[in-house]
Amino acid sequence: MLSLITNGLIAILERELVAYEPLIQQFLIHELDKAIQLLVQFVENKKQGQ
């Protein structure tokens, strides 16, 4: 009985994740872009400090 409920929940989650996948990808790309900008800024600040 419990495995039936668990399998049902997994199926629902998988379906929902597919629906939200573009949003999740967009969020991750945005976060990655921010991280890269911070890294570039850090490197530029280091160069100016030399």
How does pLDDT run across 1-50, given as a tens digit for each residue? 788 889 998 898 888 888 888 998 999 999 999 999 999 999 999 999 97
Separation between Cα atoms, residue 17 and residue 3, nearest integer Å: 21
Separation between Cα atoms, residue 24 and residue 26, nearest integer Å: 5
Q: Alpha-carbon torsion 12, 15, 17, 19, what sign?
A: negative
In whole angstroms, what separates CA 30 from the centre of its chain?
A: 9
Q: Kindly list the domain boundaries of the chain, sorted by start residue.
A: 21-50
Separation between Cα atoms, residue 39 and residue 27, nearest integer Å: 18
Residue-level pLDDT at 43: 94
Residue-level pLDDT at 34: 95
- 1: enclosing H helix or E strand: none
